[in-house]
Each structure stands twice: as C-alpha cells, then as structure tokens.
Amino acid sequence: MNDLLFSVPGIACGHCAAAIRDCVTDVPGVRAVDVDVPAKTVRVAGGADAAAVRAAIAEAGYEAA
C-alpha cells in the first residue's frame, strides 16, 4: 500500500477540504484522507487507484494536478 499525494490548487478553506474528504473517502481502497488547506494537497493512504481518487476529487468540484 502506498500513499498518494495530489496537488489541488483550488483548495481554499475547510469547506473545500470537507467536500474533497467526503468524496475521496468513498473510493475503494482508501484508508485515510488528509487534506492540507495551506499546502493545497490531498494525501490518500491505502491501496486506492490514483485515477479513481482524481475522479472523486473532480466530483467534489476540484482539479487534482
């Protein structure tokens, strides 16, 4: 299992973080989600597929770089 780290420039506040966390948590294989608002990053622990996590971030309304 590897951690995945995504840069998400659109993260601006706690509401953004919660929306992303809610969507990403539902991806199969995700054990934990850490959204760092100041760094504008999302770290995902577990064995989730990177493309599925990117799609979940997009579903929340944000683009993962």
CATH number at residue 26: 3.30.70.100
**pTM of the complete model:** 0.93
Stated as kind and residue range, the H or E segment containing 33 is strand 30-36
20/55 Cα distance (integer angstroms): 11
pLDDT digits (tens, 9 = 90+) for 10-19: 999 999 999 9
Residue 52 lies in a domain: yes
Number of domains making up the chain: 1
65/55 Cα distance (integer angstroms): 12
Residue 65 lies in a domain: no
Residue 8 lies in a domain: yes
pLDDT of 49 higher than 90: yes
* pLDDT of res. 1: 62
pLDDT of 32 higher than 80: yes
| Domain around 41 | 4-59
User: What mean pLDDT do residues 12-36 have?
Assistant: 97
User: What mean pLDDT do residues 1-28 have?
Assistant: 95
Residue 64 lies in a domain: no
